[in-house]
Chain A
Amino acid sequence: MSEFRRGLRHVEEAMGTVFSFDVRDTRTPAIEAAVHDAVAWLHHVDEVFSTYRSDSAISRLARGEIGLDDCPAEVREVLDLCERVGTATRGWFSATPGGTLDPSGLVKGWAVERAGQLLRAAGAHHTCVNGGGDLQLSGEAAPGIPWRVGIAHPLRPGELCAVVTGRDLAVATSGSAERGPHILDPHTRAPAAGPASVTVVGPGLTTTDAYATAAFAMGAGAQDWLEGLDGYEGLAITGDGETWRTPGFPGTSCAA
């Protein structure tokens, strides 16, 4: 954190979590409008995709009340993306993890990545959008200084287990530290045992976030899978505090 240019910060509650916008570019009316649009976009996504709202398109589609053609175009886009991630993860990611339609594991990352694109289109090239612990980072924190993202230690609240450094990257962490066992193994439809947490770093948050969810469900097999993926790196803390990371993981692990 060296000299900050005058930027813009905004915190928004949506989708049952909190989104933090951190724009490091000089504030302009266009950027302010884009943050406003990005916030409206998040609420729109929640209206369409929330499985907690019985009147959302996704809930009505799941109940068979409407067909895919009756849904907003984004629903098909998200389900197609889920399909693609499902294939790439050998079935460890699914839009129907518990047997019914629930693409939530992909929606938030996708919404955050799109929010970042809205900011970029308005001329904000150095931004961080954090959606409940999953981030899309664009540009850098300050001229010549990469972003530094602390990875929350899953077993020691308030401490960090690693710091990821980089430019133009996405960082997603899956684990049960905050909300208990909520990631389902799509093969057994039961809560995945998983490591304490797994962090995936990649270019875009849509895929990176879904990969983190899949890697959590995979458990011990995630390390080999991530090492075989181009453009993605991973770090995990197991339940007994052991750490593993892929060789290219960008950043430093704090002392265990």
Chain B
Amino acid sequence: MRRAVLTAASTSALVVLLLSLKPHQPAALTGDPAQAGAASAPTPSGRPSQGSHPADGTYTGAPIRTRYGTVQVTATVKAGRLTAVKVLHAPSENGRDREIAAYALPRLTQEALSAHSAHIDAVSGASYTSAGYVQSLQSALDRAGV
């Protein structure tokens, strides 16, 4: 049970982390040297409602310290949409952390992609309990929006 809770907590932390890599906030990213120049020159969007967005390319996020260790990801953007997320650093200080990371990271990447690429403001779903909320995408959106 404890392991499940930890997994959920690190899952949420990562979703928040990934959601915070908003394409319209290039300043929050440490640009890949090859793309640094392009990132400051937004290109016209295929979807007018989305406003400006960074140029295509791969952006490397700053390492972020979480309760479970340091996490760093890269995000690949194509036509203003997040198309891939790669984990550069994941918690690996001990066996349990590695176990959690092995479970949480691949799943998380998928979660963040599907939610992020949809540019959603909120999530509707079968009524969650207070405990279920912790793992929900709504919880990630609430934290990313603060």
Contact A149 B111 (CB under 8 A): no
Interface residue? B138 (CB, 8 A): yes
Q: List 9 other contacts, CB 8 Å, given A20-B122, A133-B128.
A: A2-B49, A9-B145, A22-B121, A130-B123, A134-B124, A150-B124, A152-B137, A175-B125, A178-B126
- Chain B proximity of A101: nearest CB distance (Å): 20
28 contacts across the A-B interface (CB closer than 8 A): A1-B24, A2-B24, A3-B51, A9-B146, A16-B129, A16-B130, A17-B130, A18-B133, A18-B138, A130-B138, A133-B126, A133-B127, A135-B124, A141-B121, A145-B49, A148-B120, A149-B121, A150-B115, A151-B124, A152-B137, A158-B111, A159-B110, A163-B118, A174-B126, A176-B126, A179-B126, A179-B127, A179-B132
Contact B114 A254 (CB under 8 A): yes
Given contacts A133-B127, A160-B114, A160-B115, whether A2 and B51 have CB atoms under 8 Å apart is: yes
- Bound-complex Cα distance A135 to B120 (A): 13
Residues of B within 8 A of A159 (CB): 110-111, 114
Q: Which 3 residue pairs of A and B lie closest in terms of their CB atoms, listed nearest first?
A: A152-B125, A175-B126, A158-B111
Q: Mark B16-32, 1 if CB is under 8 A from A, else 0.
A: 00000010100000000
Contact A130 B122 (CB under 8 A): yes
Size of the chain B interface, CB-CB below 8 angstroms = 34
Contact B118 A148 (CB under 8 A): yes
Residues of B within 8 A of A18 (CB): 128, 130, 133, 138-139
| A contact face: mostly helix, strand, loop, or mixed | strand
- Bound-complex Cα distance A163 to B136 (A): 16
Return the chain A residue nearest B146 by Cβ. A9
Contact B124 A164 (CB under 8 A): yes
- Bound-complex Cα distance A151 to B125 (A): 6
Contact B122 A150 (CB under 8 A): yes
- Bound-complex Cα distance A133 to B136 (A): 10
Q: Mark A148-172, 1 if CB is under 8 A from B, else 0.
A: 1111101000111001100000011
Which of B115, B118, B119 gathers the greatest number of chain A CB atoms within 10 Å?
Answer: B118
